[in-house]
Amino acid sequence: MLIIRLVYICLLVTACYLHSHPDHYSTSSKCSGVDMNTARLLFHRVVQQDHPEVTQQIAASLEKHLIPRLNNSPPDIEALRLYLTLPECPLFSDRNNYVTITIPFAKLLLNMKEAPLKVLGNWWSTLEPTVFQRLVELYKEVVVYLLQMHKMGIPSVEQRIFTCFLDTSLRLLEILHMVSERAGHIIQYDKFYIHELDDLIDIRNDYVTWIQRQMYPMGHDGGVTLCRYPFVFDAQAKTTLLQTDAVIQMQMAVDQAQMQNFSSMFMPAVESVNPCLILIVRRENIVGDTMEVLRKSKNVDYKKPLKVIFVGEEAVDAGGVRKEFFLLIMKELLDPKYGMFRYYEESRLIWFSNKTFEDIDLFNLIGVICGLAIYNITIVELHFPVALYKKLLKRKPTLDDLKELMPDVGRSLQLLLDYTEDDLEDTFCLNFTITEENYGATEVLELVPNGEDINVNKSNRQDFVNAYVDYVFNTSVAPLFECFYAGFHKVCGGKVLELFQPNELQAMVIGNTNYDWTELQKSTEYKGEYWADHPTIRLFWEVFHGLPLEKKKQFLLFLTGSDRIPILGMKSLKLVIQPTSGGEHYLPVAHTCFNLLDLPKYTSIETLREKLLQAIDHNQGFNLA
């Protein structure tokens, strides 16, 4: 009797909380007609913690009778409403029911016929974001639960069942992700991220396994790789994937070079090669020296580990020299004085200049250098808008991107779109042209053929805005960006890069400014006689926290080679402070390669402040003398 009562309750729920519009009884493939919040409320009234015996009976009936009897092709569209509403039942969110109710229901959905699943997808796409988010969170929690159980240890005989459960949950999340994307992001992409993954799986090993299965699809054990479902990876996990991919490619390039060198020992015709990409540059000619090396290098050389040597400086490049190299060369290359990039004062950003007298091949080499920075996990100063990263990922810039680069112009175009009066044409007096100033000369350019003769009105204003955005970010700079794009992707293109969202890729390249100085202090390690409460260390942090923001950023530049922090946050900097044997008249010394600070045992706060400021004000160069 209980199963009959339960089915009756479910059908009653789906029948009684239909929206109050005339055709609610003729539910369509586009509209379920269901009020999901009312459904949730009714389910919670039926299943209450105050009556555990009833709850247990309902759970048993769901497990043994209702879900097994649900058809993969419901008899009619109104019966399909049950598939939409059941996850609102609180029993689905109980970890004790994941294996018996929640996962079997997901498997049922995955086995549905194409037509009813398409209708269900249409209904999902019309849900309120909070309701849709509940469904996503439910199966994210299932994935976390399964991975936690697996990490604790599952007997080998149950490995196949675990794999099936995990794959089922992830595949349903994949469908929900596609529904959200097609509907214009019902919820933001980061709502699908499972932040616990870094603690629950070995992301590096998962990536290697995924690559191996792509190369040898018939030779794997059938286990689940999370890389198959990249939408669940957050920025931290994606960064780990990118680092893993870079290490693999570097090792392959080194192995190839060593094989060639081995062959050269027995075959004089085979030329020996360096297993690293070596850049020997002079500070006073850093751009010219770099370009000369890169022009002579082959694509395969870009995949090798990068080593930088400044002429006349004895430092061995363990990372710090490379950091400064990228800092200096990007500052030089992107300087608007060369005319390759245009600086927008209001946004303090740069974009490609469509009027440049420099060799177009330079943009290819700049793209290579930007790619090398990412490939070698080095943050660099690139004052570009997010539009650059969209284009690198083959996505179209929008009006929002123009607002970032040119705020005044962006606001004006938004006013045009929002204008409600009928006198738009007389008020704005626009046609399909754009006016530019280059080197003191004013030029009027048509956005479309015969644009000067086409006035902007209410019916075509969106076309005008689209053409304006397209001109700024695409057509006006097409040959320059194509060269930049080609150079960039010579180094770090591929599937891993495509996993990033544009803003995540930007943070990966230039770092961010989410400074948390307290976190920096907490994550700092100490060596030798120093510990967190050593008198000198206490003085150091008292001085540091009293510095203005610009000096703190200058300290980061002094110690790490960049005044920005990595995408993984302050804690990933892992600063180390150790004592030196010199007296208080010595300055602190930074070992940028290792984020290591040699700090003399100062006993006076005034002396410490004076010496620290002297050190960070003269931070350029890696001469060991």
Which residues belong to the active site?
Answer: 593
107: its two tokens: 């498997």
Q: Summarize pLDDT for 552-599 with one digit per residue, the tens.
A: 999 988 888 778 787 777 877 889 999 998 788 899 998 876 788 999
Element (H, E) at 605: helix 605-617
Does residue 17 surpass a pLDDT of 50? no
Global pTM reads 0.78
Does residue 194 surpass a pLDDT of 60? yes
pLDDT band at 21; cut points 50, 70, 90 = very low
pLDDT band at 620; cut points 50, 70, 90 = low
Q: Summarize pLDDT for 327-359 with one digit per residue, the tens.
A: 788 888 877 777 888 889 899 899 998 887 778
Pairing type for strands 576-579 and 525-526 reads parallel
User: Please, are residues 283 and 328 in contact by the beta-carbon 8 Å criterion?
Assistant: yes
Q: What is the mean pLDDT of residues 3-9?
A: 48
Q: Which of the four CATH numbers 3.40.190.10, 1.20.950.20, 3.30.530.20, 3.30.2160.10 does domain 399-510 have?
A: 3.30.2160.10
Question: What is the model's pLDDT at position 625?
Answer: 28
Q: What is the mean pLDDT of residues 377-406?
A: 91
Which residue type does 439 have?
A: Y
User: Please, are residues 125 and 186 in contact by the beta-carbon 8 Å criterion?
Assistant: yes
Does residue 171 surpass a pLDDT of 80? yes
H-type helices in 443-545, by residue range?
A: 461-473, 478-492, 495-498, 502-510, 517-523, 535-545
Highest mean pLDDT among 213-217, 280-284, 403-407, 504-508: 403-407
**In terms of Cα–Cα distance, which of 252, 254, 291, 292 is closest to 273?**
254
Angle at alpha carbon of residue 172, lines to 170 and 175, rounded to 5°: 110
223: its two tokens: 């286990």
| Better-predicted residue by pLDDT, 564 or 606 | 606
Least confident of 63-72, 148-157, 499-508: 148-157
Cα 415 to Cα 161, 198, 469: the distances in Å are 58, 45, 15
Question: What is the model's pLDDT at position 4?
Answer: 43
Sheet with 596-599, edge to edge strand ranges = 525-526, 576-579, 596-599, 589-591
**In terms of Cα–Cα distance, which of 569, 573, 564 is closest to 382?**
564
Does residue 399 surpass a pLDDT of 80? yes
164: its two tokens: 């099936």
Least confident of 60-69, 226-235, 356-365: 356-365
Q: What is the mean pLDDT of the chain?
A: 85
Backbone angles phi, psi at 420, to 5 degrees: -105, -15
Q: Summarize pLDDT for 432-444 with one digit per residue, the tens.
A: 999 887 766 788 8
The CATH code of domain 234-383 reads 3.90.1750.10
pLDDT band at 317; cut points 50, 70, 90 = low
Is 86 buried (19+), middle (13-18) or exposed (0-12) by CB count in 10 A? buried
The CATH code of domain 517-617 reads 3.30.2410.10
Backbone angles phi, psi at 230, to 5 degrees: -65, -15
Cα separation of 555 and 561, whole Å? Answer: 9
Does residue 16 surpass a pLDDT of 50? no
Cα 288 to Cα 279, 283, 365, 386: the distances in Å are 11, 10, 11, 29
Q: What is the mean pLDDT of residues 474-479?
A: 94
Angle at alpha carbon of residue 400, lines to 394 and 406, rounded to 5°: 105
Question: What is the model's pLDDT at position 477?
Answer: 93
Where b means 16+ CB within 10 Å and e means fewer, 429-460 reads: ebbbbbeeeeeeeeeeebbbeebeebebeeee
Pairing type for strands 596-599 and 576-579 reads parallel
pLDDT band at 11; cut points 50, 70, 90 = very low
- Domain coordinates in residue numbering, the chain: 1-21+28-94, 127-230, 234-383, 399-510, 517-617
Cα separation of 103 and 160, whole Å? Answer: 15
Share of the chain above pLDDT 70, in %: 91
User: Which residues is 356 bridged to in the sheet?
Assistant: none
3-class DSSP assignment, residue 279: strand
3-class DSSP assignment, residue 342: strand
Q: What is the mean pLDDT of residues 480-489?
A: 93
Does residue 173 surpass a pLDDT of 90? yes
Question: What is the model's pLDDT at position 574?
Answer: 83
Question: What is the model's pLDDT at position 15?
Answer: 45
